[in-house]
Amino acid sequence: MRFHLVSGGCGFVGRNMVKRLYQTTADTIIFVDNLSVGTHPTSWLKLEPEREDGDLEVFADGRLLFLHQDFRRFLRDIIDDPTYIAKHYAPAFERFADVFHFAAIVGGRSTIEGDPMKVALDLSIDAEFFYWVTRHRPERTLYPSSSAAYPIDLQTEGDAIALAESDINFKKMGEPDMTYGWSKLTGEFLAKVAAEHYSLSVTCIRPFSGYGEDQDLSYPIPAIAARIARREDPVEVWGTGRQGRDFVHIDDVLDCIFFAMERVTDGSAINIGRGELLSFIDIIHTMCDIEGYSPEIKQLLDKPVGVFSRYSNMDKVHAMGWRAGISVREGMRRVLEAQKG
């Protein structure tokens, strides 16, 4: 019997990964989340637990095991006692096949800039995670870094470039984006150490602006979609709206993760994006065109906006044979439909 682990399994990317694994494999998935940000599995699995025992909830004939606890507590338990999972949760458990590490302090721009020390706790989460990885030695490990790890001086209005993997060089550092960027950059370094020093299969990804139908309204795409679905006029946008991002749908992010884990095992990182720079005003215009109305746009200049321009150079990944399959227009249509209920 094969087991997979998803940390942060009730957050946006984590729950989509749990559902994908459940739909595409016959394996058992253990997912851990303290629900500080994530949503309870009953809301997105559309299933009720078959069994509850303390912080454990079991779904889908025992294939989905949800642990409602802080991931660091989970790691400490299984480091102290490697047989802990078999004793308490799954008697057949011996070793994880794939481990997907999405547990993190995350949020929109208001969190990154509003409480940077809270975000810095990601450093402790990742350090304990990689320490455990080097002891447990799963078959494969995914570490999701972020486009926030790229130097901010390459993302200005006057010097915006498509960010290539080589623009991060541990021997010649730039400054990443706030404590979130620093934590993800440090996580990438730990991933390289785990792969090279401990001979483990580790894959890093740098997703750009991922979005999807079930993303929290603290993120810009669903928030804008909700306003447009209500046909607000004017439609509010943070900042001038001219700041640009590389928007990639969650289904494409998951597809690229599995593609990368088959091909990148040395702890190095690849971009996940479309390689297309679009402003938030562009996104508003696209959604309004889908909805068939033309509201005014109201700029909220007192809101945090982050760097001016962040988009990916996808040449390396395209050369490997992967391209995003969901157009921005199709992705925005899906988000709009979800906001309409």
Q: In angstroms, what CA-CA distances link 85 with 22, 26, 88, 121, 294?
A: 20, 19, 5, 25, 55
The secondary structure of 114-134 as a DSSP string is H-HHHHTTHHHHHHHHHHHHH
Tell me whether strands 244-245 and 309-312 are parallel, antiparallel or unpaired.
parallel
Using left for φ > 0, alpha for ψ between -120 and 50, and beta otherwise, residue 77 falls in alpha
Confidence of residue 169 (pLDDT cuts 50, 70, 90): confident
Report pLDDT digits (tens) over 200-210: 999 999 999 99
Residue 209: predicted pLDDT: 93
Mean pLDDT, to the nearest integer, of 112-117?
Answer: 87
Burial 71-92 (b: 16+ CB within 10 A, else e): bbebbeebeeeeeebeebbbee
Is the Cα dihedral 77, 81, 83, 84 positive or negative?
Answer: negative
Q: Is the pLDDT of residue 108 over 70?
A: no
Average pLDDT, the chain: 94
Two structure tokens written together for 217: 């309204």
Q: Which has more confidence, 212 or 180?
A: 212
The architecture of the domain spanning 3-210+247-272 is: 3-Layer(aba) Sandwich (3.40)
Work out the percent of the chain whose per-residue pLDDT is above 90: 82
Report pLDDT digits (tens) over 86-97: 999 999 999 999
Q: Which has more confidence, 330 or 110?
A: 330
**Residue 15 DSSP symbol:** H
Work out the percent of the chain whose per-residue pLDDT is above 70: 99
Q: Do domains 3-210+247-272 and 212-246+276-339 have the same CATH topology?
A: no
Q: How far out from the chain centre does Cα 179 lie?
A: 16
Nearest CA among 260, 261, 256, 279 for reference residue 325? 256
List beta partners, residue 219: none
The secondary structure of 56-115 as a DSSP string is EEEETTTTEEEEES-HHHHHHHHHH-TTHHHHHT-TT---EEEEEE------SHHHHHH-
Residue 20: predicted pLDDT: 98
The architecture of the domain spanning 212-246+276-339 is: Alpha-Beta Complex (3.90)
Residue 235: predicted pLDDT: 95
* Number of residues written out for the chain: 341
Mean pLDDT, to the nearest integer, of 154-166?
Answer: 83
For the chain, the domains span 3-210+247-272, 212-246+276-339
The CA R_g of the chain, rounded to the nearest whole Å, is 20
pTM of the model: 0.93
